């Protein structure tokens, strides 16, 4: 069991060719383009959730920040759908790869920082040195604030990777325990299966919450720089 514990996190290949990019494109099928005058219930629910999320997340932004609405909503839809598709059996969760999450976090973080230095140069530089700092502490505080700024994209990526990976590992371990217990003691296997079902429901919630948290933090970084 230990040998196969991390098999589900290995990038899949066909004839030695990685197919991660193809899998990343799968979430597109979850959000079809409406072709009817009146949407069906699934499309109506999707649009209502998207409108509520947009209203809640973008209400704090000024005009410059609201120009990022399409990008941020596309980001939360992509992460949420990728996380949910990863809960299907024999599927691959792209958001368990730290490299992919860094690929999303670093460009978005860099864009917010560049936007801040471009439009609010003095305010952005003032973040490196809080007002009223004693003179002997100035070099140390500048270094600390610089490190805290540079670590933001790493924190974004690691948070998403750790939460999704931990949930999948726990489900894998409990599922393996159930298969082992079924041949030993069915009485113990039954409550363990109930725990697995409850954990699966929790993972559905975690998949959506982590997508929201990732996008919300990017939105807050944008708010601080616009």
Can you give the pLDDT at residue 15?
A: 64
Expressed in angstroms, the distance from the first to the final Cα of the chain is: 50
- pTM of structure: 0.79
* Residue ranges of the chain whose pLDDT lies below 50: 1-2
Distance of alpha carbon 7 from alpha carbon 24, whole angstroms: 18
Can you give the pLDDT at residue 135?
A: 77
Distance of alpha carbon 226 from alpha carbon 219, whole angstroms: 10
Distance of alpha carbon 24 from alpha carbon 101, whole angstroms: 12
Can you give the pLDDT at residue 107?
A: 92
Distance of alpha carbon 50 from alpha carbon 140, whole angstroms: 43
Can you give the pLDDT at residue 99?
A: 84
How many residues does the structure list for the chain?
226
Can you give the pLDDT at residue 2?
A: 45
Can you give the pLDDT at residue 47?
A: 80
CA distances from 154 to 137, 162, 179, 213 (A): 26, 12, 37, 14
Can you give the pLDDT at residue 176?
A: 81
Q: Is the dihedral of CA 44, 49, 54, 60 positive or negative?
A: positive
């Amino acid at each position: 069991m230990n040998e196969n514990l991390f098999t589900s996190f290995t990038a899949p290949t066909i004839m030695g060719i990685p197919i991660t990019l193809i899998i990343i494109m799968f979430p597109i099928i979850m959000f079809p383009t409406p072709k009817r005058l009146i949407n069906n219930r699934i499309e109506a629910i999707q649009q209502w959730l998207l409108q509520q999320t947009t209203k809640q997340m973008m209400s704090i932004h000024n005009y410059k920040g609201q120009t990022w609405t399409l990008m941020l909503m596309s980001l939360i839809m992509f992460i949420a759908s990728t996380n949910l598709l990863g809960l299907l059996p024999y599927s691959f969760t792209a958001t368990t790869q730290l490299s992919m999450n860094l690929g999303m976090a670093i460009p978005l973080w860099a864009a917010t920082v560049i936007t801040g230095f471009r439009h609010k140069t003095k305010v952005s530089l003032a973040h490196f040195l809080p007002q009223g700092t004693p003179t002997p502490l100035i070099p140390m505080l500048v270094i600390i604030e610089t490190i805290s700024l540079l670590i933001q994209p790493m924190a974004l990526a690691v948070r998403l990777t750790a939460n999704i990976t931990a949930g999948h590992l726990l489900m894998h371990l409990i599922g393996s325990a159930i298969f082992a217990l079924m041949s030993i003691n069915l009485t113990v296997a039954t409550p363990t299966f109930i725990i697995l079902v409850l954990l699966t429901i929790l993972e559905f919630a975690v998949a959506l919450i982590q997508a929201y948290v990732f996008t919300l933090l990017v939105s807050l970084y944008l708010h601080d720089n616009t």
